[in-house]
Homo-oligomer: A and B are copies of this chain.
């Protein structure tokens, strides 16, 4: 059986940019995406479910997975590990479902290293867009303020370099539309479509 594989989409961006808001709004509209379920060593809380909220594992097991390179990314927060298990992502993709991961910038860079075939979307603060407009119609602000903003903007633009797409979060609905367009168009990429067809022909010629 020849099926289209799913695609891993990673949404990231500077803290405070609104990644969580965009992700929630996206999941209200799009039921075809599978949100990536993280693995953690923290205790299960009342009402939480294994394989729904998190995969709950012991510290020993988690550290074994780190050593075996079985996590696409991980980090430690207040004494607990959190990470993205490779097998869960790969099984979901193999079943033809897209996986969606929302994560901070350091985590996204780890995923990129471990899973470069993912599609990486940078959510950019409107401040950068505003900065652009402000510089264009400049002369209304102090030199210091502009210099500070330029410095922050430069750092942000450097962060973008690891990503495939940049979506400006000036409006949640517009940002969601753009992410959905990226998901749809990535499935039309010639490399992906041609691979499927070529597989069909190979199978037939054997």
Contact = CB atoms under 8 A, between A and B. Distances in A.
A164 B131 CA distance: 33
Interface string A74-109: 000000000000000000000000000000000000
Contacts of A145: none
A5 interface: no
Given A154-B201, A185-B182, A194 B132 contact: no
Interface string A22-45: 000000000000000000000000
Contacts of A185: 165, 178, 181-182, 184-186
Interface string A109-124: 0000000000001101
B203 A190 contact: no
Interface in A157-206: 157, 160-161, 163-168, 177-178, 180-182, 184-186, 188-190, 193-194, 196-198, 200-201, 203-205
Nearest to A200: B132
Interface bracket on A: 35 or more
Contact of A135 (B128, B135, B193, B203): B203
Nearest to A187: B178
A179 to B, nearest CB: 9
A153 interface: yes
Contacts of A153: 197, 200-201
A52 interface: no
B200 A188 contact: no
A204 B1 CA distance: 56
A17 interface: no
A136 interface: yes
Nearest to A154: B201
A66 interface: no
Interface of A: 1-2, 121-122, 124, 128, 131-132, 135-136, 146, 150, 153-154, 157, 160-161, 163-168, 177-178, 180-182, 184-186, 188-190, 193-194, 196-198, 200-201, 203-205
19 contacts: A1-B136, A121-B188, A128-B197, A132-B196, A132-B200, A135-B204, A150-B205, A157-B194, A157-B197, A161-B194, A164-B189, A165-B190, A166-B189, A166-B190, A168-B193, A178-B184, A180-B181, A181-B181, A184-B185
